[in-house]
Structure 1
Amino acid sequence: MSDTQNLIENRPPSVATLFLERVAKTPDAEAYRYPVPSATGQGPDDWKSLSWEQAAERVYAIAAGLIDLGVRPEERVALASATRVEWILADLGVMCAGGATTTVYPQTNAEESAYILADSESRVLIAEDAAQLAKARERRADLGHLAHVVVIDPTGIEEGAEGDPEGWALSLAELETRGKAYLEKHPEAVKERVEAITPTQLATLIYTSGTTGRPKGVRLPHDNWSYMAKAIAATGLVTGEDVQYLWLPLAHVFGKVLTSGQIEVGHVTAVDGRVDKIIENLPVVQPTYMAAVPRIFEKVYNGVAAKARAGGGAKYKIFQWAAGVAREYAKVSQDNFRRTGTASAPFGLTAKHKVADALVYKKLREAFGGNLRAAVSGSAALAPEIGYFFSGAGIHILEGYGLTESSAASFVNPGEAYRTGTVGKPLPGTEVRIADDGEILLRGPGIMEGYHGLPEKTTEVLEADGWFHTGDIGELSPDGYLRITDRKKDLIKTSGGKYIAPAEVEGQFKAVCPFVSNILVHGADRNFCTALIALDEPAILGWAADNGLGGKSYADVVAAPQTQRLIQGYVDRLNEGLQRWQTIKKFRLLPRDLDIEHGELTPSLKLKRPVVERTYKGLIDEMYAGSRES
């Protein structure tokens, strides 16, 4: 048996066990960093640290506090909070109490939050602040199972506490105090709960973000996370010397899996979920790796392009030249690595790359903190041209792939041998096959137990022999690299019988047009394709200021003929590289960007196609008015 097989097959029953082992192994090593507002309230945040032993003291106190509140093994404790260090400590506390965490996005409205709390039969809610507590109060009559609410940041909730039964709402600090008192009387309580955990015991209930319909609760037992921790370590992509910058929503399976890998490997994680602080934090944290969704890389790319454009024609020409060199260099280097095992490029291209590095790439790497070895991208497809740009600039984006139902990380690109445009190879222990219709099927220890309370939905996607139907279409290279082409249900079949993968066309447009924020390609059962396009507000307003539209609102700029002509130029460039039936014949610019608040994007920034198409049905119909199919 190989070391990798041994590592995975002899995994412990739970991440709670792994956590206790990690604390015993490196008690004084730094585990987490987290921001605290500066004493004056002015200037940058201060960053504090927790060692593994300090983290364990808080985790044990939270676990014991939950035991004291009556939480029994497998009972659900909901966690509604943005990404912060307390989220991780609370999640570990729930697992060490033998309970199961139900994750709730903080942006989820009161109605859907109540649905998740009720469907999961959560006994306790750990809420970030007054706003999350208010949602629970609003729907309290529907939440018969909810015995307690624990508030991480209790600022501003005192005045609303009247009418609560004794002990219904308490602060996290109060829960930890109760837990410490409980441990004084029952010092082995937490360790006993951890020792009693079995691999099949429920650890996490994550509700799918629901690009269509009601969210379904995905049941992930302890063994899923224990496997993920060991498999991530077995890839060799991260080491104990790494510093991870973690900002992803921890309610999402992608963020959550990173916490398991970190415990196994033992490196430092800096935690701050405030997206508006990423640019400020990166030079402070100086991470060696981070994970992100494609939208972040697209925004960085658009921002760099906009800054170059604002610097004048010469600077923008230099940026465009450097971007072209980066892409060419990345493609040649990756191709040579595939053939020879060495990432190399011809002398002339290397010389151009060196000049471009001094002018453009070096500053880009400094913006990421200067120490970034690699970034992992997941949750949606990254446009290959954007991936090649960053690769050539020395920011290596390793695309990965997985679903909530597969505990997030089923595939990842293998370090130096990564291939832009693919999601890499399966994690050790995960099997893959492509069905006759092109659907990707997965089997392995990361696959869910099933959907909570929905046996018929479970049997639709999970075969008796363990193969899970992902709903994604893809193809495997002879040496095992997977390329995702689209969601099975998102494939467009035109009235002419041609199949189109809209995500592929959308990704190509994002690489061509530096002003796009979101794009939806439409064409199912139509005789040509159209697009709804939302523009990136800072980028387009910057362009507007230089083109006679300064001072106008976003909606006015988008409606202006000059803007329409600008975007038409990029659509024409896109169409040059497409098959005739894929080309965008007409488009409409949206009066605002798509967002989570209007239900058009999921919290992990995936497009909800049915919602967007319903909202803008009038614009879609307008584009097809007068065509032969009307």
Structure 2
Amino acid sequence: MNLAEAIIIKNVEKHPVKSAIGFKKKDDGWKELSWKKFSEIIFKTANALKNAGVEENDKVAIYADNSGEWMIFDLAIMSIGAITVPIYSTNNAEQAEYIINDSQSKIILVGNQMQYDASLEILQKGSSLQNIIISKKAVWIKKEFNSFYLEDFIAKSSPKFEICKKEYDDVATLIYTSGTTGTPKGVMLTHGNFIKAFDAHFEYFKFKNFEEELSLAFLPLTHVFERSWSLLCLYGGARVYFLENPKDISSALEEVKPTMMCAVPRFFQKVYAGVLDKAEEGSSLKKKIFDWALKVGSEAGELRSLEKQIPFGLKIKKSVAEALVFSKVKEKMGGRLWFLPCGGASVSPEVTKLFEAMGIHITVGYGLTETTATLTAFPLKHFEHGTCGRPLPGVEIRIGENDEIQARGNGITKGYYNKPEDTKAVFTEDGWFKTGDAGKFDEKGNLIITDRIKDLMKTSNGKYIAPQQIENLLTNNNFIQQIVLIAEGKQFVSALIVPNFEFLKDHLAKNNIPFTNWEEIVQKKEVIDFYKEKVNEFQVHLSDFEKVKKFTLMPAEFEINTGEITPTLKIKRNVVLKKYADIIEKMY
């Protein structure tokens, strides 16, 4: 079955006037489209694409920030049996050109001036690109170079369309890996990968009244996590609101009031650190109230997880804790969130426990682009903090050589587009996908990630260091924005630390330290001493060989445009280590 058909037809028939998607108009607040209207625009776009010469199995790219148009274009592409090729909105012209050329994309949807200019340059070079569609009329275009505003492109198209029939094994999308270790590869995901993965989620979680849920999409739709989650929500009949600028997340949460939302660990770490800092800054009475509320919420959360009766007295205490502490935090997130899938990296048990105490379930999961996102996840009950949960229905996992996690099942990719050797390299001879991650199972069948096998470090003393766990621990406070551990072949662990400049600036003001510029500030003894305290405070429970003994404070964040981090904000460790080799050497 075609994924677009599985999403659109069922929901239009079931509830045509119910809202499907929401989006923000600049000066006019949030707007919604009903399922009927949503489907009509998708079908008008599908007809326009066909009229422009797009045929079954052709590639069509999307190079834009999150928007209603992004999802409309994606479903329209799949409706005609073509293949969607997402490009990160932050990618530069060279990166976009590589993906367009590798995939041989015929048409591209862009969202802003930078994306249009880059696409125009690629089109003028005589690539496979034939037309550029622009979602916003604010973008200045050159119509003589096959450039059309989306509104004009679909204006004369019919809203009636027959969705192209597809088999489960037919490719629906090529998602290019963000490439922390090399050239991006186009991961082929099929219609069946998505549909079977979605069905597995619904079987696993057994949601009640899912059609009443509202999800806010703020992570990039280009990434498999947000794309899969948003499509899953639409597949199940829930509403999805699309946030164009992720920096507006705070205000969007209060405006939209979502009930569900997928996020990465850094989002939860910021909330966690903010809550703890607020408690620390308060009076001793307020601190005692917070500690009491956290204890009460944790007791209630644990009983709820174990499906045990919460005693009447504890219910009363929980209500008081809710009124005095938790409600204020939850209101900042819209007040209705209860289900938060989390992926992309590990998240500390301290963080998940705090949210569970507040009655918000972080569903920690594990998966890759090549596995259509989720392989394992926390169930709603009987989960273990500090793990990645248990395999979803239809997923098998085994631990292979070097403790590598290997998987097979519904969501596993067909391979990498036009790269048979790379495809062969990631599968075992008996057909298991090699994730490249190290892990183990606990006695209850929960998966625990050790680290990326390629990232594991061995000190000169022969001790193995798993950097992600330590980096994750140290970014659980508001004063550290980014961190890169160094240990391979060294006698001890060191780190490059990027401060959270916003919080550091407040700290400077409170301690009468005059601000000059960040290059000077990060070298001041009192600032370095302050960070030593923070680092030591958060690594107190680590083994001595795992502790960061020396660090250098960086005067600026690692950036996407400098190639130091991927569009999904993962640090390219090899790039950073090479670029700052001189600074690192000075620590030894």
* TM-score, length of structure 2 as denominator length: 0.94
Distance in structure 2 (CA, Å) of the matches to 1:34 and 1:481: 38
1-structure distance, mates of 2:192, 2:463 = 43
Long gaps (5+) in structure 2: none
1:76 equivalenced with 2:76 (yes/no): no
Q: How far does residue 560 in structure 1 lie from its aligned partner after superposition?
A: 2.0
- The aligned counterpart of 1:341 is 307
> 3-state DSSP class of the match of 2:397?
strand
Specify the alignment match of 1:396 in structure 2.
361
Q: Quick one: structure 1 residues 49 and 243, their matched pair in 2 at CA, closer, same or farther if it must change by over 3 Å?
A: same
8 Å CA contact retained: 2:564, 2:575: yes
How many residues align structurally? Answer: 586
Query: Deviations for 1:51-108, whole angstroms, at most 9, x for unmatched residues?
Result: 1111000000011111111111111000001111111111000000110000001100
Instruction: Give the superposition deviation at 1:113.
Output: 0.5
Task: Give the Cα separation in 2 of the matches to 1:99 and 1:112.
Answer: 22
Tell me if 1:591 matches 2:542.
no
Partner of 1:172: 150
Q: For residues 522 and 496 of structure 2, what CA distance do their matches in structure 1 show?
A: 12
Please name the residue that 2:196 is paired with.
Answer: 227
- Which of 334, 352, 355 is matched with 1:387 structurally? 352
1:463 aligns with 2:441: no
| Residues in 1 aligned to 2:255 and 2:69: alpha-carbon distance in whole angstroms | 21
- What CA deviation, in whole Å up to 9, does each residue of 1:122-168 have, x standing for no partner? 0111111222110012233545211111111132424x445x2xxx1
2:331 to 359, 366, 372: 366
Is residue 15 of structure 2 the alignment partner of residue 26 of structure 1?
A: yes
Question: Aligned runs of 1:168-247 on 2, under 5 Å?
Answer: 168-180=146-158, 187=160, 190-191=161-162, 193-194=163-164, 196-234=165-203, 235-237=205-207, 239-247=210-218
Normalized against structure 1, the TM-score is what? 0.88
Task: Write the distance in 2 (CA, Å) between the matches of 1:343 and 1:483.
Answer: 29
CA distance in 1, matches of 2:424, 2:289: 51
Alpha-carbon distance change, 466 to 329 in structure 1, aligned in 2, over 3 angstroms: farther
Identify if the C-alpha distance between structure 1 residues 25 and 122 changes in structure 2 by more than 3 Å, giving closer, same or farther.
Answer: same
The equivalent position to 1:131 in structure 2, one of 110, 114, 118, is 114
Is the Cα contact below 8 Å between 2:120 and 2:132 reproduced in 1? no
Q: What do residues 306-346 of structure 1 show as CA deviations (whole Å, max 9, x unaligned)?
A: 5566xxx534x5676566556655665565567x5327699
Residue 294 (structure 1) shift:
1.0
What is the Cα deviation at residue 442 of structure 1? 1.0
Match of 1:532 in 2: 496
**Aligned partner of 1:88 among 67, 71, 81:** 71
* 3-state SS in 2 of match to 1:33: strand
CA distance in structure 2 between the aligned counterparts of 1:380 and 1:320, rounded to whole angstroms: 31
- Structure 2: distance between partners of 1:557 and 1:342: 52
Q: Distance in 2 between matches of 1:522 and 1:505?
A: 11
One-letter amino acid matched to 1:481: N
Q: CA deviation at 1:480?
A: 2.2
What is the letter of the counterpart of residue 231 of structure 2? S
The 8 Å contact of residues 76 and 100 in structure 1, kept in 2 or not, is answered as yes
| Structure-2 separation of matches of 1:453 and 1:31 | 36
Does the Cα contact within 8 Å between 1:257 and 1:409 map onto a contact in 2? no
Is the CA contact (8 Å cut-off) linking 1:100 and 1:204 kept in structure 2? yes
Contact 2:42 2:72 in 1 (8 A): yes
User: Is this contact kept in 2: 1:302–1:539, CA < 8 A?
Assistant: no
Identity of aligned residues (%): 33
Task: Determine the structure 2 residue equivalent to 1:509.
Answer: 474
**Given residue 553 of structure 2, which amino acid in structure 1 is its aligned partner?**
L
Query: Would the aligned equivalents of 2:298 and 2:354 in 1 still touch at CA under 8 Å?
Result: no
- How far is the alpha carbon of 1:602 from its aligned partner? 1.5
Cα deviation digits, residues 581-607 of structure 1 (max 9, x gap): 111111111111223222222121212
2:341 aligns to what?
376
Distance between the aligned counterparts of 2:77 and 2:87, measured in 1?
Answer: 15
Aligned pair 1:439/2:404, yes or no? yes
Q: Of residues 566, 570, 576 in structure 2, which corresponds to 1:606?
A: 570
- Given that residues 128 and 153 in structure 1 are in contact (C-alpha distance below 8 angstroms), is that contact kept between their aligned partners in structure 2? yes
Q: Quickly say closer, same or farther: Cα 1:588–1:484, change in 2 above 3 A.
A: same
Return closer, same or farther for 1:393/1:558 CA change in 2, 3 Å cut-off.
Answer: farther
Shift of 1:414: 0.9
Q: Which residue of 2 aligns with 1:98?
A: 81
1:466 and 1:620 map into 2 onto residues whose CA distance is 41
Bigger shift: residues 99-108 or 132-141: 132-141
Q: Secondary structure at the match of 2:189?
A: strand
Give 2:45's aligned residue: 62
Q: Would the aligned equivalents of 2:307 and 2:381 in 1 still touch at CA under 8 Å?
A: no
Q: What letter matches 2:524 in structure 1?
A: A
The whole-number CA distance in structure 1 between the counterparts of 2:27 and 2:538 is: 48
1:553, distance to aligned residue in structure 2 (A): 3.6
Alpha-carbon contact 1:326-1:389 (below 8 Å) kept: no
Structure 1 SS opposite 2:282: helix
Partner deviation per Cα, 1:461-504 (whole Å, 9 max, x = no partner): 12354311111111222332212121111111111211111111
Q: Aligned partners of 2:218, 2:405: CA distance in 1, in Å? A: 29
- Counterpart residue identity of residue 258, structure 1: W
Amino acid corresponding to residue 172 of structure 1 in structure 2: L
The aligned counterpart of 1:14 is: 3
Helix, strand or coil for the counterpart of 1:556? Answer: helix
Distance 1:518 1:327, change over 3 A: farther
Question: Over residues 420-443 of structure 1, what are the superposed CA-to-partner deviations in whole Å (9 max), with x where a residue is unaligned?
Answer: 222212221111111142111111
| Structure 1: distance between partners of 2:197 and 2:542 | 39
**Root mean square deviation of aligned Cα:** 2.4
CA distance in 2, matches of 1:14, 1:616: 46
Question: What is the CA–CA distance in structure 2 between the aligned matches of 1:356 and 1:176, rounded to whole Å?
Answer: 54
In structure 2, the CA distance between the partners of 1:419 and 1:178, relative to structure 1 (3 Å rule), is: farther
Contact preservation (8 Å) 2:86, 2:222: yes
**CA contact 2:221–2:227 (8 Å) conserved in 1:** yes
Distance 1:110 1:419, change over 3 A: same
What is the DSSP-based 3-state SS (H/G/I as helix, E as strand, rest coil) of the residue aligned with 1:587?
A: strand
Are residues 336 and 304 of structure 1, via their aligned partners in 2, closer, same or farther at CA, if it must alter by over 3 Å?
Answer: closer
Q: Which residues of structure 1 form unaligned runs of 5+?
A: 1-11, 40-45, 625-630
The farther-off stretch of 198-207 and 256-265 is 256-265
1:257 counterpart residue number: 228
Separation of aligned partners in 2, 1:135 and 1:515: 36
Q: Secondary structure at the match of 1:214?
A: coil
Instruction: Show the counterpart of 1:314.
Output: 282
- 1:296 matched to 2:267? The reply is yes
Separation (CA, whole Å) in 2 of partners of 1:295 and 1:22: 34
